[in-house]
Amino acid sequence: MAGRRAVEEHLGRLREEHGVDLAIVNGENAADGAGITPKLAERLLAAGADVITLGNHTYRRDGIGPYLAASERVIRPANAGAQTPGRGLAVAEARNGVRVAVLNLLGSLFLDTPVSPWEVVDGLVDEARAAAPVVVVDFHAEATSEKVALATWLDGRVTAVIGTHTHVQTNDARVLPGGTAALTDAGMTGPHDSVIGVRAELAIARMRTRLPVRFQPAETGVRLEGALLTCTEGGRAEAMELLRVSL
Ligand SMILES: [Fe+2]
């Protein structure tokens, strides 16, 4: 809740301050740290998100399937399996009129992923490039190695590969030699006095005792984290910087 509130209260202001033409928000845990509801997705869009990406917790909440099936701006990982509702690619127009394709993919290491991202990524990137000059990939994955590997594989074919899922922002924002910006993980907008958003004592109790413990989201140490990407209208990345705002 603290993270969603931070986006609702500050995304608009940050967009103005930094002159942001398009904002992508990973919203997979907007509903008290687990999943997202249609109502919360609409609130994030109203707060200034142009596209919302999701992840391995996409379907945790009731009602999200039909919403995703109908939505063009809220997407789930493209390799979430053929039986799951929704789409994995969105095309939006930035404020400066440039079309931007956003592709959401799940990693295959340490996650229960139905289809390997490597099996589908090239075809999806071709589809995205046919739709828009700027292509941003949200690679929702656990392992740093897999994220660096995918960014390197896509270097020169997409504008940016930005990792999500670990909740821990990495200090490796860079532009690769072919013109693709890469960041292993954009971090977490939420309460950082926690174990990746969960009240620390509950997360630790589950790990120490191996007994079932009901998780609750933490509330304090809230930061808004992400990345600021600058690129040409043709889709070549020029710079990427970390965004980390304490609230
Ligand atoms: Fe995740």
Bridge partners of 26? 53
The per-residue pLDDT for range 187-210, each reduced to its tens digit, is 999 999 999 999 999 999 999 999
**Cα–Cα nearest to 160, from 235, 88, 72, 106:** 235
Ligand 1 centroid, distance to 201 Cα (angstroms): 21
Ligand 1 centroid, distance to 165 Cα (angstroms): 4
Ligand 1 centroid, distance to 184 Cα (angstroms): 14
What DSSP character marks residue 47?
A: T
Mean pLDDT of the residues in the chain: 97
- 57 belongs to the catalytic site: yes
Half-sphere exposure of 160 (CA within 13 A, CB side): 29
The per-residue pLDDT for range 56-106, each reduced to its tens digit, is 999 999 999 999 999 999 999 999 999 999 999 999 999 999 999 999 999
What DSSP character marks residue 108?
A: S
User: Residues within 5 Å of ion ligand 1 by Cβ?
Assistant: 55-56, 165
Q: What's the pTM value of the predicted model, to 2 decimals?
A: 0.97
pLDDT beyond 90 at 30: yes
The CA distance from 51 to 74, in Å, is: 6
**Cα–Cα nearest to 217, from 246, 245, 194:** 194
**Residue among 57, 140, 165, 192 flagged as catalytic:** 57
* Burial class of 96 by CB neighbour count within 10 A (0 to 12, 13 to 18, 19+): exposed
Ligand 1 centroid, distance to 15 Cα (angstroms): 25
Ligand 1 centroid, distance to 56 Cα (angstroms): 5
% of the chain beyond a pLDDT of 70: 100
Ligand 1 centroid, distance to 44 Cα (angstroms): 18
Ligand 1 centroid, distance to 187 Cα (angstroms): 11
Ligand 1 centroid, distance to 124 Cα (angstroms): 21
pLDDT of residue 1: 84
**Torsions phi, psi for 120 (to 5 deg):** -120, -15
